[in-house]
Amino acid sequence: MVYDCVIIGGGPAGLSAALVLGRAKLNVLLIDNDDPRNKVTNESHGFITNDSLSPFAIREKAKKDLLKYSNIQLISDTVADISDQSSFFIIETLKNNFETKRIILATGLKETLPNIKGLKSVYGDLFFNCPFCDGWELKDQKLAIIVEQEEHIVHFSTMIFHWSKQLTVFTNGMKVADSIKSILAKNEIELFEDKIESIEKEDSKGEINLHNSQSIEVYGGFLVPRFELNMTFAKNLSVKLNDVGRIQTDEFGGTSFKNIYAAGDINATFGEQLVHSASSGSKVASGIVREIAFENFISDI
């Protein structure tokens, strides 16, 4: 069987795309390896009708919706390779091979946290990366901002400052330009350029221990991970990237490679949120349906 579309990635973008394509009478296969980036998150926020649900619960609700459609197939597997056969693609997974006319890449991003002892144990609990997702829960409290890239300090601090004026910036050993120090000082944001020894949780608070033996107590905080595309399987596909290292697409998710599309965080330039990803998946799928409908209509004339 040659699928009309195979979706790689079972987050909100991929699941939303599958629903739109399936309801358009297309044969759809969604492949997901069940290893989402937000697996450490206890609650998701800002997604209307799903506010405060866990990402796992949202995915399970979505899968239940898709199971109503016999032309949508969901499998748990890992994509190993994709090869272009001109009129179709062969998708090789660890368990099987599949043929499809179109592909939606919805694998999201892979994040690397700062290398700080104890950080992983509090990430998703006390520390987060998205103020739109978790800013309300930490509003007006004493917060830490951990950012190791100088170019992100002012922008990220500006955003977090909207939720709380009690901020302390930690650069984990990176020295900061005087111009940035001046901006932080004007807003009464304390700055520590010392290396962070460890982060510990005490009751509902966090304690940041510096290499110089100082300890700063905070009620939580935000950090800037390093993001990269989560698609090592696409080594044989040459798709153009945009200025921030995401996949470059047109309005409806079309990439530089014909019949390959991208949806969700993988082509976002701002706001890695569930609601944005779901919207992206729906929009990309709608564009594909429009393309197929047009092609079929013209071919019948």
Beta-bridge partner residues of 111: 227
- The residue among 223, 243, 265 that closes a domain is 223
DSSP type of residue 52: T
**99 and 235 co-located in one domain:** yes
Please identify, among 169, 189, 223, the residue that sits at the C-terminal boundary of a domain: 223
- Residue 1: which residues within 8 A CB-CB, separation 6 or more? 27, 99
pLDDT in tens, 191-217: 999 999 999 998 889 999 999 999 999
| Higher pLDDT among residues 125 and 267, named by residue | 125
Range of the domain at 7: 2-111+226-299
Examine the domain organization and report whether 107 and 231 are in the same domain. Answer: yes
The CATH number of the domain holding residue 137 is: 3.50.50.60
Say whether both 104 and 233 belong to one domain.
yes
Let me know whether 101 and 249 are in one domain. yes
**Residue 148 predicted with pLDDT over 80:** yes
Mean pLDDT over 86-109 rounds to 96
Report the DSSP pairing between strands 127-128 and 215-218: unpaired
pLDDT of residue 161: 98
pLDDT of residue 269: 67
Pair 107, 122 in one domain: no
Place of tokens 């004026």: 165
Q: Is the pLDDT of residue 86 over 80?
A: yes
Q: What's residue 271's pLDDT?
A: 58
For residue 272, pLDDT beyond 80: no
Does 265 lie in the same domain as 184? no
The pLDDT value given to residue 270: 61
Domain boundary among 223, 250, 284: 223
**Shared domain check, 180 and 92:** no
Are residues 231 and 95 part of one domain?
yes
In this structure, the answer to whether residues 91 and 134 fall within a common structural domain is no
Reported as a single tens digit per residue, the pLDDT across 150-187 is 999 999 999 999 999 999 999 999 999 999 999 999 99
3-state helix, strand, coil in the chain (%, to 5): 30, 30, 40
Same domain, 146 and 187: yes
* Distance between first and last Cα of the chain: 27
DSSP 247: B
**How confident is the model at residue 230, as a pLDDT?**
86
Return the pLDDT at 62: 95
Q: Has residue 236 got a pLDDT over 90?
A: no
pLDDT tens string 19-63? 999 999 999 999 999 988 877 788 888 888 999 898 899 999 999
Q: Are residues 184 and 217 in the same domain?
A: yes
Shared domain for 49 and 103, answered yes or no, is yes
In a 10 Å sphere around its CB, with 0-12 CB exposed, 13-18 middle and 19+ buried, how is residue 176 labelled? Answer: middle
Number of domains in the chain: 2
The pLDDT of residue 301 is above 60: no
Whether residue 274 has pLDDT greater than 60: yes
Secondary structure of residue 296 in the 3-state scheme = helix
Confidence of residue 243 (pLDDT cuts 50, 70, 90): confident
Q: What is the pLDDT, as a whole number, of residue 40?
A: 77
Supply the mean pLDDT for the chain. 93
d(CA 104, CA 87): 16
